[in-house]
Amino acid sequence: MSADPRPPLSVLAGVRVLSFTQFLLGPSGVQFLADLGADVVKIEPPGGKLWERNWAGCDLYLNGVSAFFLLAHRNHAREEIARALVPVLRTRTTAEWLAFLEERGVWAAPVLTYPETFAHPAVQAADVVEEAPHPVAGPVKFLRFPVELSTGRACVRRPPPMAGQHSEEILREAGYADADIARFRAAGVI
């Protein structure tokens, strides 16, 4: 495979992001910022206790590191850098940090909860909140796909499935024949 001759997209070059995120969505979102050139520092609990480093759903590890962790932490800074920052971060409250950064002209904002995000005036004005039914949780609000294409907005075509609920339909849409689907079911794949 040859190297891509294009320079990396670095619209966020010079921006430092401290990532306190866990699980898949937070690290994946921050990973996109890193892909766009931001300097992302991953803040982890002391002692290597970040569960993502030690858990891989299919027991997949590369050199002792979880595939799950590798999947969502591309372009994040080394763990040692993050650990060195934790004592400094603990010296002020969130409000004090926000005031400190604002005084220096650094853009910063508190992390909002889901209800606060959905109620925020900028989010309301952008018309980006959608609601979809969930078979267990009932109506669930979420932020819609952020891009509007020439053919219109991306939309929810079906609610989030229960485990295996739409497997046959999806496999048919992907071009699998009924015999293949029956073989998958017999093998316990679906």
Q: Please report where in the chains the tokens 């005084």 appear, as a residue.
A: 103
This prediction's pTM: 0.44
pLDDT of residue 177: 92
Q: How many CA atoms lie within 13 A of 153 on its CB side?
A: 12
CATH for the 1-107 domain, from 3.40.50.10540, 3.40.50.10420, 1.20.120.80, 3.40.50.720:
3.40.50.10540
Q: Which of 70, 8, 16 minimizes the C-alpha distance to 41?
A: 16
Q: Quick one: average pLDDT of 164-183?
A: 84
| Helix, strand, or coil (residue 146) | coil
Q: Output the average pLDDT for the chain.
A: 76
Q: What would the pLDDT profile of 66-89 be if each residue is shown by its tens digit? A: 777 777 777 776 556 556 666 666
pLDDT of residue 178: 93
Would you list the domain boundaries of the chain? 1-107, 112-158, 160-190
